[in-house]
Amino acid sequence: MPISGVVIKCRPEYTEELARSLAKPDAVEIHGALPDGSLVAVIEADSVEGETQIVTGLLETEGVIDVRLAYHNFEDVHMKS
Amino acid sequence: MEWTRRRFLKASAAAAAFAAAGAMHLGKRFADEAEAAEKGITWGKAPCRFCGVGCGVLVGVRDGRIVATKGDPAAPVNKGLNCIKGYFLSKVLYGRDRLTKPLIRKGNRFVEASWEEAMGLVAAKFKESIDKHGPDSVAIFGSGQWTVFEGYAAAKLFKGGIGTNNIEPNARFCMASAVAAFMNTFGSDEPMGCYDDLELGDTYFLWGANMAEAHPVLFSRLVDNKLKNPRVKIIDLGTRRTRTTQMADMFVPFRPQTDLALLNGIAHVIVRDKLYDENFIKNHVVFKKGKENIGYGLEDKFKFDDEPKAITFEEYREYLKPYTPEHVEKISGVPAKTVVELARMYSDRKRKVNTLWTMGFNQHSRGTWVNNLAYNLHLLTGKIGRPGENPLSLTGQPSACGTAREVGTFSHRLPADMVVNNPEHREKTASIWGVPAAKIPAKPGPHATEMFKALDRGDIRVMWIQVTNPFQSAPNLSRYRKAARKDGRFIVVSDIYPTRSTELADVILPSASWVEKEGVFGNTERRTQHWFKMVNPPGEARNDLTQTIDLARRLGHGNLFNYQGSTEKAIWEEYRQFTTGTGKDLAPYETYFKVRGLRWPVINGRETLWRYSEGHDPYVKKGEGIKFYKNKAAGGKAIIWARPYEPPAESPDRHYPFWLSTGRVLEHWHTATMTGRVPELKRAYPSAVVEIHPDDAKRLGIRNRDKVRVTSRRGTVVLPCELNGRGKPERGSVFIAFFDETKLVNELCIDAYCPISKEPDYKKCAVKVEKA
């Protein structure tokens, strides 16, 4: 289960709404909003593709300007048999 | 994953994100758990494996495996944050089908072999071809993703050992036009500005560059600047709307190729309305004109040499006369009043103007010209060489600058801007390499497209390909794929995964990747970055550097690589000699171990942010202000080139009525050999789509996601269409990304190229579109 920490850059007028609407159990956990309107979130999924799918979805959400990756742990992702 | 561990890791993730967002105090509550999560993980710095931005990454290793990555908070480029491709750093090394053993072709199959057997065979084929057909019958095709060491070793072996200039990088396909224009405008490759300009400026013209997807971290710096400073304007000029357009203040669509006309139109208004900086022009600029009607390189062995002629400012003014806003509107579709508006913005004394571009300008049959014309606007207005005001040629690959361009792994090049056809340059190179000057051929070898044509004709028989996938990425691809399998050809491919190129090889050599070897990359802003080896390559995979030196020894050129101690350090210190005193000075090797890279020239340990600028560039003397000191022949001045609009090699017509442009998407790096590995869990392989305007789709009876056939005179591909994607072409144009190995869109592309730079035009050819 890879886990990542991201900064979601939002248009400030959308921040509050996005902090509510983006949260999804076992997928997107919102940990705080910053003065410039960015949201700090933790993303988890079954696979790296799952994570990037979530991020792609975030990027296509109205009010989201950018999603940037701060931390990615994939210690338990088994790529080789 | 065990629940407690998961909690600790989520704490780490949150803490890192807060820290990267500049709000470490808000993440303090995670500190203890984050620390527990990090136990046993050793972190080392490295530049990202992917694009030319050169973000800093911290790589976390435990028990010999990479288990985590972080944006490097100490990296000035990206300050602790990576783009979405950062997720794929987890996968670069660990795909299931990683190559681990040398493979030799036997008929239609590949059979595992030992390194001794494989290299013995490769050396024998090289030797046989050199003996029978001469040194120019062998070649190496390398990469802007080569480390500096790999590129240097290849150049030294081929030019200084074997005695052929048959070395070309895939950077011929992406940055050659930028290089040619740097050389003929400023006398030296690579930008005078740096990323600091992204925060210091207020006006950003993006030409044919989808920065939001191709240079995401740089774009986020631009956007951050804009959000903090309402005065900041981003103008997106291109042939298609992209995610970049969404954040721009102004979108200016123009017909393909008419960037040439539009740039001249802007210059026309600047000159007509006397909006130029007269003093700057008098002190820092000379004017030139070159050949016109210069062809497209479609014929084999096409030759072109420009014939520069000095002209006066008056003659340049005359030259621009036809490019009135009205005339430019006719050619480009850009309204006349917009042309004037753009000219006013460029020349507005209160605006700090920057121009940024990549493939829209470079992969262009007049790529050198259009780069020249972009520089003209900055040279006319004097907005250059000053903090916050610069043209910035963005580089695609992580070390097209550091390796291909700086080391000079091109058929006409030597290190540090030097060229093979200059006897003094050959002397200097030979002396550092310890070879007779006569060894290095004076005549340039074939450029990449011509190299693959030579392979087709049989003039080149043996080709080694390292760290690149040309049998998916070359234009007019079918011809070259067939060439690789012709009788009497021998293809060696060094890579980390099976690709559309390894499948055509005679020998496949498993290679080390990224932090499986020690390396140095150089990014867009002249920042040279070092990393140490952190994990072992899998199975029997080996560093490309080791492979090249192995071949050298087998061919009797081992003396070129008899270094004491660390090979990497020895190569660096030898290579560095080329740069000392040239304005491209590199620092001693150990300097790069601790820092997050340094921008050259590095003098007395201090990096240079702005070249050619007094107070910033130590080569500019007191009182000189701005001096383009690499242009000795022009007395330290830059060149404004008079260049015309000329049409593309192939335009839409009755039979093929659409423009086809190709390019990248955010999630996939180039041909997706690293980002597109099919994962454990069965999931549809990511598929390319063709973007088409809804009106065109309607006319053709095509609905969203329908399968569509796109055909050019050279090839055809069937794929789903996308009417409402993040890229929206204009009417009469379609766009397809080239990452999908099952949809070889480059078979449709035409191998027309800029006659000066020899870079192919991947952005313009004619196709027809029909429901499949």
Domain coverage including residue B689: 658-749
What pLDDT score does B672 carry? 87
CATH of the domain at B553: 3.40.50.740
For chain B, what is the domain count?
Answer: 2
For residue range B626-676, list pLDDT tens digits in order: 999 999 999 999 999 999 999 999 999 999 999 999 999 887 888 888 887
Does the distance separating the beta carbons of A42 and B82 come in below 8 Å? Answer: no
Whether pLDDT at B550 is above 70: yes
- Establish if A27 belongs to a structural domain: no
Q: What is the ipTM of this complex?
A: 0.96
Round to whole Å and give the CA distance between B395 and B398.
Answer: 8
B residues 379-408 lying closer than 8 A (beta carbon) to A: none
Query: Which residues in chain A are contacts of B70 at CB distance < 8 A?
Result: 70-72
Q: State mean pLDDT over B170-199.
A: 98
Is A65 inside any structural domain? yes
Verdict on whether the full-model pTM lies above 0.95: yes
Chain B residue closest to A28 (CA)?
B10
pLDDT at B680: 43
Tell whether A66 is within 8 A of chain B (Cβ).
yes
Residue B471 lies in a domain: yes
Find which of B18, B61, B84 to mutate to test the A interface (most A CBs within 10 Å of its CB). B84
Query: φ and ψ at B182, to 5 degrees?
Result: -60, -45
Q: Report the residue from B23, B81, B88 with minimal CB separation from A34.
A: B23
Check CB contact under 8 Å for B98 and A5. Answer: no
| Domain count within chain A | 1
Residue A17 in domain: no
Cβ pair A48:B679 closer than 8 A = yes
Any chain B CB within 8 A of the CB of A13? no
What pLDDT shows up at residue B678? 56
Residue B68: list chain A partners with CB under 8 A. Answer: 71-75
Alpha-carbon distance B286 to B771, whole Å? 54
State mean pLDDT over B105-130.
98
> What pLDDT does B679 receive?
53
Q: Give domain status of residue A2, yes or no.
A: yes
Distances in Å between the Cα of B269 and the Cα atoms of B16, B233, B254, B545 are 50, 21, 18, 52
Cβ atoms of residues B610 and B616 within 8 Å: yes
- With respect to residue B646, please indicate whether it lies within any of the assigned structural domains: no
* B680 in a structural domain: yes
Is residue B737 within a helix (H) or strand (E), and if so which, with residue range? strand B733-737
Per-residue pLDDT of chain A (81 residues; tens, 9 = 90+): 899 999 999 998 999 999 999 999 999 999 999 988 899 999 999 999 899 999 999 998 999 999 999 999 999 886 543
Cβ contact B483:B489 at 8 Å? yes
Q: Flag whether A60 is in a domain.
A: yes
The whole-number average pLDDT for the span B490-495 is 98
Q: What is the pLDDT of residue B683?
A: 45
Claim to verify: residue B424 and residue B535 sit in the same structural domain: yes
Tell me whether residue A32 is in a domain.
Answer: no
Tokens for B191? Answer: 């930008």
Which pLDDT score is estimated for B762?
96
The yes-or-no verdict on residue B682 having pLDDT over 70 is no
B15: in domain: no
Q: Chain A residue closest to B73 (CA)? A: A70
- Catalytic pick from B175, B192, B451, B534? B175
Q: Which of the listed residues B525, B546, B562 is the one where a domain comes to its end? A: B562
Torsion of CA B495, B498, B502, B507, to 10 degrees: 70
In a domain, A54, yes or no: yes
B101 noted as active-site residue: no
Host domain of residue A56:
1-9+45-76
Tell me: do B451 and B555 sit in the same domain: yes
Boundary residue ending a domain (B530, B562, B594): B562
> Which of B3, B9, B99 to mutate: most A Cβ within 10 Å?
B9
Note the pLDDT of residue B39: 86
Mean pLDDT computed over B367-377: 98
Structure-token pair, residue B90:
């987890």
Per-residue pLDDT, B28: 85
Q: How confident is the model over B188-215, as a mean pLDDT?
A: 97
Condensed to tens digits (0 to 9), the pLDDT of residues B726-772 reads 899 999 999 999 998 889 999 999 999 999 999 999 999 999 999 99
Instruction: Mark which of B562, B578, B607 sits at the end of a domain.
Output: B562
Which tokens sit at A30?
């919102």
Known active-site residue B363: no
